[in-house]
A and B are shown apart, each in its own frame.
Chain A
Amino acid sequence: MRIIDKFTNYFCRKIKPNTIIFGQNVTTGSRISGLTNKIEDIKNIEVINTQNSEASLIGFGFGLMISKINSIYFAKQLDFIILGLDHIVNTLNSALLQKIESSFSIITYIVDSGYEGPQSRFHCLSEISSMSKANCCYLIFPDDIKINLKKINKKGLNIFCLSQKFSKQKINPKLIYADKSGDYFKYNSGKKYTFIAIGFAAYEVYELIKNSLKFRDTDLFVITNPSFKKAEKMLRSEIKKRNVYLFDDSR
């Protein structure tokens, strides 16, 4: 099964009743390259196919949040979310001061395919994470997606990103270890090397381990939280070992 299909399956199971799901093309066309393919399977929710005004749609989600309604906004790609940075930084600060209990989640693609032109070069969730108090998360392999999608109803703002380039592929590495925070995962064990992949660098690093005899005997850690909150301890401990390599393809 493709990563995107795993995502839609897990997504449908995690949504709480009375959630409002909105965004342009959520019920029409390609359904944002398949992100909302199974949305009709979710019971007791409201789905709104909307206009294309990213900044205001993000403000709309915050309005629902401060009115105690959980909502999810599907957007085409992370570049477009920049239009709503005022809300992601300032409105979130204001909402957090009010000790809100509801969630607002944004799910989008990072267009990392490399040939989409200058408007699709924003490939760094950590930049948003450093500016805002949003909980940011890369959704990478099926097992970490399953675990991290539990955070979709977490109070506050949650931003989840999938890879446009790899999410249509069938990649399903065996999970060795998942940190309980969901901030990092271990997908391969070995003694010769330690590879630590941040975000979507994980796909190519995993391919490297799988296809090269030289690197079979390698520990592979994948960091899904760009703020490194819980991964820092692991990083400090692993970095003391020999042959540790850090991979980060964001820019």
Chain B
Amino acid sequence: MKKKFKEIYNLALKSRVFQLKINELIKKKKFKLPIHLAFGHEFVSSIVKANFKSKDKILLSHRNIHFSSIFSANVLKKYLRLSIKKNTNHYNSEGSMNYTDRNANIPYTSSVLGNNLSVSCGVAKANKVKGGITICVTGDGAIEEGTFYESLILSKYLKLPLIFLIENNNWSMATSIKERRSSINFNYLAKSIGIKYYKFRRLDIKKNISNYKDAVDKCRKIKLPIICEFEVKTLGTFISNSKKIHYHHGPMLIESKNNIIGNPKEDILYNIKEKLKL
């Protein structure tokens, strides 16, 4: 188990280091295209990677650097390509928000909120016969789109081994959940469709590692969709209309000499190391 914990911590660390590199390049204005950083999301991508098999597929959303940084080989080279212009109007890539890498089993990523949910049903249908499971990464904002509900029903009806992985950071642009909608009881929603639901509280490090493995094993075995909701805290702060938003918003983090995270206890990496006694 210690080996698994170490693997997950190292993956999370790798993702953090990569993001710090990219953040420095952003500050130097190396990228003309937007890159959404995901400081604080690394634990989710790391446990997904640690349970990912060669036949599995993963579909991402606009904030995906915590996944691409540990799923893709030569990822820095791929990101540097984002700044190369093909001609005056077009860049020589699909951009970070539509990041794909077939060699890393990332066949699709969408910058459009909720767009990847139904696409993942098609990918899961094709991948089922090959023996793999499919993971669709989405967020607490994207699940407000109607296609979330439609895709749940479709995937259940077609018996697709598909994990709807919700990263719930409480924010959609500059509004928190309380400011924009009623809360959703995923347990009831999932139950109403006959889908299994797992909740992952942010600091339950050990429990989350074991529960996610259980969810993935179940998905492989029963070949049915599963919802996994992860609480995450996107690190960083930005000011919008005099309102302090407590989450990092990509290139707006500019004070490189200061610590990025004021209180390390807020940081998931600190917590992984502490709780797993690494």
State how many angstroms separate the Cβ of B161 from the closest Cβ of chain A: 14
Alpha-carbon distance between A63 and B124 when the two chains are bound, in angstroms = 8
User: Which chain A residues have a beta carbon within 8 Å of chain B's beta carbons?
Assistant: 20, 48, 50-51, 53, 55-69, 71, 86-87, 90-91, 94, 97-98
- Residue B122 at the chain A interface, CB threshold 8 Å: yes
- Whether A55 touches B147, Cβ cut-off 8 Å, given contacts A63-B118, A67-B123, A98-B100, is yes
- Residue B215 at the chain A interface, CB threshold 8 Å: no
Mark contacts of B248-274 with chain A using CB atoms, 8 A cut-off: 1 yes-contact digit, 0 otherwise: 000000000000000000000000000
Contact call A64/B153, Cβ cutoff below 8 A: no
Contact call B126/A51, Cβ cutoff below 8 A: no
- Whether A67 touches B118, Cβ cut-off 8 Å, given contacts A50-B154, A59-B147, is no
Alpha-carbon distance between A98 and B100 when the two chains are bound, in angstroms = 8
User: Which chain B residues have a beta carbon within 8 Å of chain A's beta carbons?
Assistant: 94, 98, 100, 102, 107-108, 110-112, 115, 117-127, 146-147, 150-151, 153-154, 157-158
Instruction: Identify B150's interface contact among A51, A64, A87, A94, CB under 8 A.
Output: A51
Cβ contacts under 8 Å, A50 to chain B: 154, 157
Instruction: Identify B122's interface contact among A51, A61, A86, A97, CB under 8 A.
Output: A61
Alpha-carbon distance between A62 and B119 when the two chains are bound, in angstroms = 6
Sorted nearest first, the 3 A-B pairs with minimum C-beta distance are A63-B122, A59-B118, A67-B126
Instruction: Identify A53's interface contact among B125, B153, B158, CB under 8 A.
Output: B153
Cβ contacts under 8 Å, A59 to chain B: 115, 117-119, 121-122, 147, 151
State how many angstroms separate the Cβ of A42 from the closest Cβ of chain B: 19
Instruction: Identify B154's interface contact among A53, A64, A90, CB under 8 A.
Output: A53
Determine which residue in A58, A67, A86, A87 has the highest number of CB atoms from chain B within 10 A of its CB, and name it.
A67
- Of all chain A residues, the one with the shortest Cβ separation from B113 is A86
Contact call A90/B158, Cβ cutoff below 8 A: no
- Of all chain A residues, the one with the shortest Cβ separation from B94 is A97
- Whether A56 touches B115, Cβ cut-off 8 Å, given contacts A48-B158, A51-B154, A97-B94, is no
Contact call A86/B121, Cβ cutoff below 8 A: no
Alpha-carbon distance between A57 and B122 when the two chains are bound, in angstroms = 9
State how many angstroms separate the Cβ of B153 from the closest Cβ of chain A: 6
* Contacts A64-B123, A98-B107 known; 14 new A-B pairs at CB < 8 A: A51-B150, A51-B157, A53-B153, A53-B154, A56-B118, A57-B118, A59-B122, A63-B122, A63-B124, A64-B126, A67-B122, A68-B126, A87-B119, A90-B110
